[in-house]
Amino acid sequence: MEQTVITTWTIGNYMSLSPLGWRNFIQDLKDKKIIDDRNDPNRVKILNRELEQYSATLYYSSRNCFLEFRSKKYYTMFVVKYGGNL
């Protein structure tokens, strides 16, 4: 059964244009040495693996990047931990 998308964030081409929660999430992964600043071809796979715990998926469409959340509970947990709007 496919889950309904609760909310979608547009991720900017520059970190400064991205939502606060996304910037904090990325910084947390850098601090934990899960990702770094290099262009890793597996970066989206790594990010999606980390986002699974929040029932979220990162994807590209028409040269834009989006983050979809499919659970209000896990979206709330993400926002509480990393920041953003409920």
**Distance between CA atoms of residues 48 and 17, nearest Å:** 20
> Among candidates 42, 50, 45, 55, which has minimal Cα distance to 24?
50
pTM greater than the 0.85 cutoff: yes
Contact (CB, 8 A) for 23 and 85: no
What is each CA distance from 21 to 1, 3, 41, 62, 76, in whole angstroms?
Answer: 28, 22, 23, 23, 11
Residue 8, strand partner residues:
68
- Look-up: residue for tokens 């999430």? 25
Q: What is the mean pLDDT of residues 56-72?
A: 92
Say if residue 1's pLDDT is above 60.
no
76-86 residue pLDDT tens = 999 999 998 77
Say if residue 2's pLDDT is above 70.
no
Every domain of the chain and the residues it spans: 7-82
